[in-house]
Amino acid sequence: MPTVVGVGAATFSATAITPAFPGGYTAIPGDVAITYLETTSEIVTAPTNWASVTTVATSSGELSRLSAFWRRLTAGEAAPTYSTTVNHQQGQMIVVRSCRSAGNPFDQAPATTEAVVDTTVSIPGVTTTFPNCLLLYAFGTGQDIFSAAGATGWANAALSNVVEQMDSWSSTGLGGGFAVASGGKVTPGATGAMTATLSLTANFKTLMCISLVGDSDDTRQPLIRSARPIESGASSGNYAMPTSSTILGG
């Protein structure tokens, strides 16, 4: 199952921002970085070599757009800069390890909006088809406020190890922010909704779920391995002559 390496600091500005890697982290090949960005309604272009996972915006009330970008990192690369010409942006990066190593690290990323002014958060999930997926649930609002406690009470009984990873709102420009929680889904199936309480003012919300597929569970890369003699536990039996594939898979 993919695991969270760390989360960088939240950053916000009326101009360009560079959401940083987690403290003390240097980019390791194969790790996947995902940056969440909140803007008023502007669609932000992915930085060079990065790609958009998804972006979703409320269409009424306090406008707010939540976007997610990803990058399969190379050794020592730097965190990218996101430019904006409109009002403000807030961003934060999470680094995840052991995602599948080819193609998109995620297989599903639905996005929705909730056009109800309340403090109840319910982020729709997915039905995973791979075992050992890491789910990232995120929501955002456009409230103009500084807060590191915008979300409380994350819960999803279908997931293991539900942990809040990000929670930051700012009052730069028209303001806005988002919160992200992760959880693990071992067995393929419905992940259900992630619920939480918006601790700030009741508001419309942007919602997204990203289902990250693990490297060892990606059936596009079958793991070829046969038991080594030392593992067989039996002192007799047929001995399989090593081949190049068994050596590589061993």
Partner 1 sequence: MPLSVDNIIQQNTGGFEASSGAATLAATTAGSVVVICVGIGIAGGVSTRMEPPSGFTYISGFNGYISAEKTGIWIFGKRVSAGETSWTFAESNSLTVQATWVAMEITGVDANVLNTYAVTTDPTAALTYNATATTINSGVTLASPCYDSLVFAVHSARNTTTTIPTWSGQDNGFTELVESSNVNATNAVSIAVSYKPSLAVGSYTCTATVSPTGIPAAGMVVALFADGARHAPNMDVIFGAEMGTNLALTTGIADQPGGTLHNKSAPFQLSGGTPEISATFARTGSYSLKLSATAAAEWLSWTNAGALGEQRFYGSSANFPLIGRLCFYLPSLPAGDVEICAAWSSAQSATFWYRSASQKIGCVVGDTISPNLGTEVLSDATVSAGVWIGLDFRYDPRAAIPVCDWQVDYDSLDTTAAPVAQTQAVGISGSIFDVSEFVVGWKTAATATIYYDDVALCKQYGSYPLGDVRIALVKVDPAGTCTVTGTSTNFKTYTSNGTTATWTSATTLANLGSVPPIIGASSSGLTQVSVAASDYVEIPMATFMGAPNYALRAARWYVCGWAASTAVCTLAIRWHDGLAEYTFVNLGDHGFDNATAVWAVGMVRSAVANDYYELTQAKLDGLKVRVGWSDDATPDVGIHVVFLEVAYQPVTVFGSIEAEDAAFKLYVRLDPVSAAVVSLQATTPAGTRGATMSWTVSGVDGTQYVGPNTTGEKSLGASSIEEVTSYGLAPDAG
Judged by the rule CB under 8 A, the positions of this chain that interact with partner 1 are 43, 46, 51-62, 103-104, 107-117, 124, 126, 129, 142-143, 201-204, 207
CA distance 166 to 145: 16
Question: 20 vs 57, which CB is nearer to partner 1?
Answer: 57
Q: How far is the CB of 230 from partner 1 (least distance, A)?
A: 39
CB of 143 to partner 1, least distance (A): 7
Taking the complex as a whole, how short is the minimal distance between the CB of residue 61 and partner 1, in angstroms?
A: 5
Nearer to partner 1, 6 or 61 (CB): 61
State which residue, 58 or 156, has the beta carbon closest to partner 1.
Answer: 58
- Residue 61, helix vs strand vs coil: coil
Query: How far apart are CB 104 and partner 1 at their closest, in Å?
Result: 6
| Between 11 and 211, CB nearer to partner 1 | 211
Question: Which segments of the chain are extended strands (E)?
Answer: 3-7, 11-13, 32-39, 51-57, 65-72, 89-97, 106-108, 111-118, 120-123, 133-141, 151-155, 160-170, 176-185, 194-198, 203-212
Closest CB to partner 1 among residues 62, 164:
62
Compute the least distance from the CB of residue 79 to partner 1, in Å.
20
Cβ burial 41-74 (10 Å sphere, 16+ → b, else e): ebebebbeebeebbbbbbeeebbbbbbbbbbbbe
CB of 207 vs partner 1, minimal distance in Å: 8
Token pair of 192, please? 């259900």
- Minimum CB separation from partner 1 for residue 108, in Å? 5
* Residue 146 tokens, joined: 């500084």
Alpha-carbon gap, residue 238 to 235, rounded angstroms: 10
Which of 51/227 has CB closer to partner 1?
51
Q: Return the number of the residue (11 or 203) whose C-beta is nearest partner 1.
A: 203
Residues 6+ apart with CB under 8 A from 247: none
Cβ(38)–Cβ(65) under 8 Å? yes
46 residue type, one letter:
A
Mapped onto helix, strand or coil, the DSSP state of residue 186 is coil
